[in-house]
Amino acid sequence: MNVDSQHYGKKMFFDILTLFPAMFSGVFSDSIISRAIKKGLISVDLHDIRSYSDDERHKTVDDYPYGGDAGMVLKPEPLARAITDARSRFCDFAPKVIYLSPRGEVLRQEIIEELLEEKALILLCGRYKGIDERICERYVDREISIGDYVLSGGEIAAMTIIDAMARLIPGVLGNRESAEADSFYRGLLSHPEYTRPEIFEDMKVPDVLLSGHHANILRWQREKAVEITKLRRPDLWAKYKTTETNNEK
Ligand code: 4GX
C-alpha cells in the first residue's frame, strides 16, 4: 500500500470520545502530532462523553452492570449520542468507529497502515469495566487492543494509534525522523546504532562503521538486523522468511 499517493493533499480527521479529554492536551500540544495539526495534515477533535449524559444535574454516564458484578459500565445512550454527533460532522461518508479494548485484535504496524486508508476515524475510549455491549454491536466497526495488559482506560491506546498513524502521513516527519528506515518496514528489527564518541568508556564503535565502505556497512547492518530479529523476535523472523517481497531488500 502506498501511503504517499493516498494521502497526498488530504487531511486525516480524528474524533476522540472520552471522559478525560484533558489527558490529550499534553500529547497534542507537543511532539510531532502538534506539528501535523499546525501543518493542517491532521485534525483532532475531542468530545467529552459526559456532555452527552441524560441528566443535567449529575451528568451520569455509567451504571451498575446487570448480573451483579462489581464496578461500573458506560451507559449506551450517551455513547450513542456522542458517536452520532461525531459522525454528523462528516456529511458525505461515515467514518469508522474504533473501540479501544483488551478484547480487540492486537495492534500491529499493518493495522496502522490499513487505518491510513480512512479519511476519518472515531476513537471511542472506554473506562471502568467497559461499555454496554449493544454499542459494540451496533456502533463499533472495529475493536483494537494495543497489547495484552490492562490500562485504566482507552485514552493512551487512542494516543498510540494516532501517533503511529501521524508519523506515516507525508510531511509530518522532519529530516530528523525518517519513517522509511524504521523497524517493521523491512519486517526486521533495526540494527544497532552508534554516534560519537568513537570510544565510550571502554567500548569502541565497530570498525566497519568507520571504514567508509558503503557496501560493507550495508551488509553489516543487514546481518545485525537479522541476528537481533532471530534472537529477540523469532515470531517476526518466521514471518519475514515467508514474506517474499522482503527478501530483495
Ligand atoms: N488496549 N483498556 C478499555 C475498558 C474495558 C474493560 C473491559 C472492554 C472490556 C486497552 C488495551 C485497555 C482498559 C481500555 C479497559 N473495555 N485498550 N477499558 N489493552 O486495557 O486498548
Residue 176: predicted pLDDT: 78
Atom of ligand 1 nearest to the CA of 144: 21
For residue 137, which amino acid is it? E
Mean pLDDT of 180-193: 81
Q: Which of 100, 140, 152 to mutate to test the pocket of ligand 1 (most atoms within 8 A of CB)?
A: 100
Residue nearest to ligand 1 atom 1, measured at CA: 145
pLDDT at 120 over 50: yes
Q: Which helix (H) or strand (E) holds 104?
A: strand 96-106
Compare 120 and 2 and report the one with higher pLDDT: 120
CA 37 – CA 41 distance, rounded (Å) = 6
**pLDDT band with cut points at 50, 70 and 90 for residue 182:** low
Residue 1: predicted pLDDT: 42
Planar angle of CA 39, 40, 41, nearest 5 degrees: 95
State the sign of the Cα–Cα–Cα–Cα dihedral 3, 158, 177, 206: negative
Q: Is any atom of ligand 1 closer than 6 Å to the C-beta of 62?
A: no
Q: Is any atom of ligand 1 closer than 6 Å to the C-beta of 142?
A: no
Q: Is any atom of ligand 1 closer than 6 Å to the C-beta of 102?
A: yes
pLDDT at 7 over 70: no
**pLDDT band with cut points at 50, 70 and 90 for residue 2:** very low
Compare 111 and 8 and report the one with higher pLDDT: 111
